[in-house]
């Protein structure tokens, strides 16, 4: 019983981060999955359509978080992230990152986040992929400046090198919330 209570409290804590639009998108995805499942049940007399629709609804359940993220990032919370500088300075062990965010979605943002991952230049291809997924050195900067629809925000970062003896490539990404 305590495990269920802890789970529900965690779920309640996570639900505070969702807005009304998030709930509407999630409910829409759930209703589409339910309709595909019910259509499969209605066509259970025909084996092939039943199997296809049943497997499709079953496959959409684990894919629903990715569908939700794709809808939010591609349409509702779409941002344009442009980097003008993303390199080390010539004579110092310091990296300079400059760019801008532009809100081209349908919602206003409360702030934006820039994450810079340091990838050693002499690393192999598989290590580079590993460092992109799980960086050893990273710098995260949070901007709490609201960004309304069709507005832009510029940013500049000066980041000291995490290890001055090693030269790094920068993998920089940004997102708004």
Q: Are residues 96 and 164 in the same domain?
A: yes
Kindly calculate the radius of gyration of the chain based on its CA atoms and give it in whole angstroms: 22
Q: Are residues 138 and 83 in the same domain?
A: yes
Among 42, 76, 110, give the residue marking a domain's end: 76
- Give 116's strand partners: 139, 172
Does the pTM surpass 0.75? The reply is: no
Among 76, 98, 122, give the residue marking a domain's end: 76
Domain span at residue 162 reads: 79-176
Q: How many domains in the chain?
A: 2
Q: Are residues 95 and 148 in the same domain?
A: yes
Q: What is the pLDDT of residues 142-164, one digit of tens each?
A: 999 999 999 999 999 999 988 88
Q: What is the pLDDT of residues 54-83, one digit of tens each?
A: 999 999 999 999 999 999 888 888 999 999
Among 76, 95, 120, give the residue marking a domain's end: 76
């Amino acid at each position: 019983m305590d495990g269920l209570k802890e789970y529900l409290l965690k779920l309640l804590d996570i639900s505070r981060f969702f807005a009304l639009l998030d709930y509407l998108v999630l409910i829409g995805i759930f209703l589409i999955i339910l309709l595909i499942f019910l259509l499969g049940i209605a066509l259970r007399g025909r084996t092939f359509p039943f199997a296809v629709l049943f497997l499709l609804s079953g496959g959409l359940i684990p894919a629903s978080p990715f569908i939700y993220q794709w809808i939010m990032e591609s349409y509702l919370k779409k941002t344009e992230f442009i980097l003008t500088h993303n390199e080390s300075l010539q004579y110092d062990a310091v990296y300079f990152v400059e760019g801008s965010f532009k809100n081209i979605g349908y919602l206003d943002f409360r702030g934006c986040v820039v994450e810079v991952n340091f990838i050693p230049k002499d690393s192999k291809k598989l290590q580079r992929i590993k460092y992109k997924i799980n960086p050893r050195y990273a710098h995260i900067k949070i901007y709490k400046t609201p960004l309304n629809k069709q507005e832009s925000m510029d940013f500049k970062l000066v980041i000291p090198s995490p290890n001055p003896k090693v030269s790094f490539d920068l993998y920089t990404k940004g997102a708004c919330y």
